[in-house]
Each structure stands twice: as C-alpha cells, then as structure tokens.
C-alpha cells in the first residue's frame, strides 16, 4: 500500500494512504462498486442552440452597422440523461428528454461527445432510443447490465446516476421505497412505477436507477414537486419489453426477420421465449412457434430478451440466423428483405394501394391523377398527427412521383428511422356530392 508523508506546520507528519487505488479500503463500499460498474454506460444528453453573445462594443457597432452584425455562438443546453443498452452505440432515455431537441448530443464519462439520432420512441411510455452517429458508435461501448424484471426488494439500496441541472454524471443513493405505484403523466396512467428516495432532480430524467449489483432496474422519470425524497422510475420489465420490439433488423435496414423475444422469470431464473412471429417473415416460414424457449442464437447463449435483441438488430439482408431451442430443436433461416408494403408500413405507418380505374372512379378523382391511395393510417404514424385519412392520395415522395409501390420502395430503401422524407399529399374531401382536392407538401420523420 502506497503512503504519502505530509509535513504539517506544527511539525507533525500525517501519513495518508492511497489504499483506494489498491482496492483494499473500507471506502470501497457496495455503492462505490456499483457506481464504478455503471458509470461508463451513463451519458449526459444536451442540445445546441444559437445564442447572441454579449459584446461590450455591441451598442457602438449597432448604431453604425445595424443589428445584423450581432455575434452568435452555439451553446449547449442540458436536457437530461441516458444509458447505453448495447455496445454498438444504442442509448435509451425518456422521450420527453429528446422530443423537442433539433440536434441531440451525448457526452460520456471520459469526455467523448457525439451527435445522436432518434431511432425510435414511444410517447405513451415516455421511452426513446438513440443511436450514436459518430465513430464512437462503431466501437465497443459499455452496455449496462439489466436487472431481472420484477426482482425488486423494498428497502434495498438503489443508486440514481444522471445529469441534474447540467451537472454531469452525478450520483445519489437511497432506498427502493415502493413498487407498482400509480403515476399519471398527461392522459396516461402507469401502475408499475418504482418509487425511491434517492435524490432525483431536473436533468436526471432518462438516467439509470441501479441496484448494488450495478444492474439497471429502472429509468428515472419524475419527481413529486410538492415533497422531498419522492422520485419515480420506469421499471425494467417495461423497458425490456419495448426494447425487444425496437431492437429488430427492420428498424436499422431493409432486413426482415420476424422474431420478437420476451423474458420470462420462473423461480428466480430467467429464460427467453418467442413472444411473437410476424406473418410473412422468414421466421414464419420455419418450424419455430410462439412460446418456445430459446437457448442459443447464432452460437451465443441467451437467457434474456435483451440478449437476443443485441444480436438481432445488427443483422442485414442475406445474413444467416441460427437458433437452438430448449428441446434441442435447431432452426436456421436467412434474413430477408422487406417487401414494399412492409417497408411502407414500417417507415411511414401507412397501408397504400395503387390507384386503379375503379378506385379512381369510386373516389371521384380525375382519371389522369397518378398516385397511391391511403387505405390505412396507423395510430403511431406521423400521418395520423396531420389528420391524413383513408382515401387521401400520395402523389410524390422523396421529390419523385409516386406512381406505384416500387417508386415508394426506391425512395425509402436508403433511409432509416431518424431520417425524414418529403411527401406531397392530396387530401380528398367530398362536400355535398362534390370532390375537392387540397395539396399538402410535408416533411415526414420516418418510424
């Protein structure tokens, strides 16, 4: 153990040890160990905006040259926190943290910083998924360890890590105060919320709540403003279930797989089952069935849905997928390419159909109008937000005419969630037997 001899004014010599560096000190408590484990996974989230710089000569220059010479600089505005869920550069946070950010920046413990793309979000559950945009996303980042869904003990010590008031990577600890609390946010009521007395402040939102094993058990979401020591977090069970639907190949490329996993805990031990198989997918063409327990995926042992998801999201069209089940069964298939219909449904949240002469006549449209008719608008689609309806017509996408599904496929094939595409929509309205058309140019963010 290294020691320092520190002389004092009074002539005494104080011996100070650097035992902490050697790891043989009582200061290395379970809380310290848990924090050391999770810190590389925690990110601070901010955005940039242009602000006018204070200049002592501003009044002089404005008098002579006008205010158009005012100086502006980019300023980083702290938004909240997040946690890396996959070493490939995927970060989960609260949706309310990034919902209004024009450009999202993340910063790691070691000071590295990168832009991040919003890949997926669920406003109702207040969750969002970001992807690191720089070369950092190509490195093996430190993904957080997941706690078991429901493995929570009242009174156990928990730790919150985050970016309160822009003070990056701040640690607070407390106890798990309650489980399954009801919390209403807007029009949505949650009945599975974790309550803790670990200090959670503005800016902690989206940061991890961990147990003493350094495992993620929740995502900090809110505080009760009329009280002290009452904070709330989204539980691991909900986080993992949503990530299982987000971390699929079709969200990151044209790949089609069709497997949705789920974690099941029995007698304290987790295993992963097939929760859902998408019709018409490569997995649907195999003997694999819903409810089957998975043991390995592409040669890697899996016991959690997140284990499977961390493998699936990286797959691309043409890649092999090999699965072994608990009964010894082996399934092998090849990752396919999404059909135009599936791609439109996935990226735009729409079901489209080509304009036939019969459909054109039924809608009361001109025979020379070319485009695709909307037959369904999914509730989560951006088109639902602009009140697009069944029977409206898309005539252009990506700056090119949309005459058929192949045109739409070509416009979307190189884009992924987080990108935007220009769409020209014809709204069809019928009033007293007469058909009126209104043209709307839109910029639509992709799902």
> Has 96 been annotated as catalytic?
yes
pLDDT score recorded for residue 9:
47
Q: Which of 41, 46, 96, 407 is catalytic?
A: 96
pLDDT score recorded for residue 225:
67
Read off the pTM.
Answer: 0.83
Q: Contact 315/305 with Cβ under 8 angstroms? A: no
130 vs 312: CA distance, rounded Å: 17
446 vs 442: CA distance, rounded Å: 12
pLDDT score recorded for residue 433:
62
pLDDT in tens, 348-387: 999 999 888 888 888 778 788 888 999 999 988 888 888 8
Q: Contact 182/190 with Cβ under 8 angstroms? A: yes
- Tokens linked to 364: 């009361």
pLDDT score recorded for residue 208:
96
306 vs 294: CA distance, rounded Å: 12
pLDDT score recorded for residue 91:
96
Which stretches of the chain drop beneath a pLDDT of 50?
Answer: 1, 9, 14-17, 50, 61
Provide CB contacts within 8 A for 46, sequence distance 6+: 76, 77, 78, 79, 104, 105, 106, 107, 166
| Domains defined for the chain, CATH in brackets | 38-138 (2.40.10.10), 147-239 (2.40.10.10), 247-337 (2.30.42.10), 344-445 (2.30.42.10)
**Which of left, alpha, beta for 339 (phi over 0: left; psi -120 to 50: alpha)?**
beta
pLDDT in tens, 244-256: 999 999 999 999 9
Q: Which of 81, 126, 237, 407 is catalytic?
A: 126
- Tokens linked to 404: 């058929």
pLDDT score recorded for residue 88:
85
Q: Contact 92/242 with Cβ under 8 angstroms? A: no
pLDDT score recorded for residue 127:
94
> Has 205 been annotated as catalytic?
yes
**What dihedral angle (degrees, nearest 10) is formed by the CA atoms of 36, 37, 38, 44?**
50
Q: Which of 205, 253, 281, 309 is catalytic?
A: 205
């Amino acid at each position: 153990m290294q020691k320092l001899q520190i002389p004092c004014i009074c002539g005494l010599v104080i011996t100070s040890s650097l035992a902490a560096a050697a790891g043989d000190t009582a200061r290395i408590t379970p809380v310290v160990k848990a924090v050391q484990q999770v810190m590389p996974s925690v990110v601070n989230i901010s955005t940039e905006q242009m602000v006018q710089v204070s200049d002592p000569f501003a009044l002089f220059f404005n008098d002579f040259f006008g205010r158009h010479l005012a100086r502006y600089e980019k300023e980083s505005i702290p938004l909240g926190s997040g946690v890396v869920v996959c070493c490939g550069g995927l970060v989960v946070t609260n949706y309310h943290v990034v919902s209004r950010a024009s450009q999202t920046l993340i910063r790691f413990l070691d000071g590295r910083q990168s832009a991040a793309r919003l890949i997926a979000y669920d406003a109702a559950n207040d969750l969002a998924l970001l992807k690191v945009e720089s070369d950092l996303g190509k490195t093996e980042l430190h993904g957080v360890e997941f706690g078991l869904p429901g493995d929570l003990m009242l009174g156990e010590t928990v730790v919150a890590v985050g970016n309160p008031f822009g003070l990056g990577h701040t640690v607070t600890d407390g106890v798990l105060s309650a489980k399954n609390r009801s919390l209403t946010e807007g029009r949505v009521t949650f009945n599975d919320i974790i309550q803790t007395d670990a200090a959670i402040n503005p800016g902690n939102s989206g940061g991890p709540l961990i147990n003493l094993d350094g495992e993620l058990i929740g995502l900090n979401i809110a505080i009760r403003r009329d009280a002290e020591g009452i904070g709330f977090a989204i539980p691991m069970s909900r986080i993992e279930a949503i990530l299982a639907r987000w971390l699929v190949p079709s969200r990151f490329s044209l790949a089609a797989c069709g497997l949705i996993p789920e974690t099941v805990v029995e007698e304290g031990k987790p295993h992963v089952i097939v929760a859902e198989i998408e019709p018409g997918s490569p997995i649907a063409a195999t003997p694999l069935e819903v409810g089957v327990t998975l043991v390995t995926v592409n040669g890697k042992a899996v016991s959690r849905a997140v284990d499977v998801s961390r493998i699936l999201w990286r797959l691309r069209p043409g890649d092999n997928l090999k699965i072994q089940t608990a009964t010894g069964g082996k399934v092998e298939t090849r990752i396919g390419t999404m059909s135009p219909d599936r791609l439109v449904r996935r990226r735009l949240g729409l079901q489209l159909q080509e304009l036939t002469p019969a459909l054109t006549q039924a809608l009361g449209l001109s025979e020379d109008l070319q485009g695709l008719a909307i037959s369904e608008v999914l509730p989560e689609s951006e088109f639902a937000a602009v009140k697009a309806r069944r029977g409206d017509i898309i005539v252009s996408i990506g700056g090119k005419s949309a005459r058929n599904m192949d045109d739409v496929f070509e416009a979307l094939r190189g884009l992924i969630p987080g990108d935007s595409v220009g769409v020209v929509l014809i709204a069809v309205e019928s009033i007293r037997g007469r058909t009126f058309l209104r043209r709307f140019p839109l910029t639509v963010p992709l799902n």
